[in-house]
Every structure is written in C-alpha cells, then in structure tokens.
Amino acid sequence: MDKKLALYVFKQNRKLKKEIKQLRNLINEKCNFKELLTVKEACEHFGFSHKTFYRYKDMGLKTIQKKPNAKIYVKKIDVEKFLNK
C-alpha cells in the first residue's frame, strides 16, 4: 500500500512541476517579465528592425556578448532608457 501511495505522489509531483513550468512560460510570454532579450526578441518587442538595432548599438546602446561571434543580448530596461533619451 505504501509503494502505491509513494508512486502516486511521485507522479502527481512530476505532473505539478510540468504545469508550473508551463505557467511560468505563459506568464513570461504574456507579461514580458524577461529582462534579457536577444536581438530578435528586442526588435519584435520594441518594433524596430535588426538594422535599426545595430544602429542603436553603434550609437551607444549597451549590449551583452559573452564571446566573439556569440549571441548578443540586451537588457530590456537599457533599451527603454536608450529610447527615452
């Protein structure tokens, strides 16, 4: 009997973890709580082209790139500050 109960609890726990992960993803999509954005995400969120993004970068927009030829990230708040200059 205890094994069945433990198995049931284990399965329910796994199911709840999946649901929590799905809810977090949904919240991030709908509420845009994500702080770091890729170039593509930033362009979609703020409504400008990739070319404009790189122009802003050349004009002083702070970006994050861990290694050469790696993905470029930008903090959402940095873009908002840059656009409000």
Q: What is the per-residue pLDDT across 60-79, written as a single tens digit (0 to 9) for each?
A: 999 999 899 999 999 998 99
Cα distances (Å, whole numbers) of residue 23 to 15, 20, 33, 37, 40: 12, 5, 13, 20, 23
Whether residues 48 and 66 fall in one domain: yes
Rounded to a whole number, what is the distance in angstroms from the first to the last CA of the chain?
Answer: 67
Whether residues 81 and 56 fall in one domain: yes
- The pLDDT score that the predictor gives to residue 32 is 60
Look at the chain and report how many structural domains it folds into: 2
Calculate the average pLDDT of the chain. Answer: 89
Percent of the chain's residues with pLDDT above 90: 66
Decide if pLDDT at 29 tops 90: no
Which amino acid is residue 70, in one-letter code?
A
Alpha carbon distance 32, 6 (integer Å)? 38
Percent of the chain's residues with pLDDT above 70: 91
Whether residues 70 and 53 fall in one domain: yes
Whether residues 14 and 54 fall in one domain: no
Tell me the mean pLDDT in the region 2-22.
91
The pTM of this model reads 0.59
What's the pLDDT band for 33 if we cut at 50, 70, 90?
A: low
Q: Which domain holds residue 58?
A: 34-85
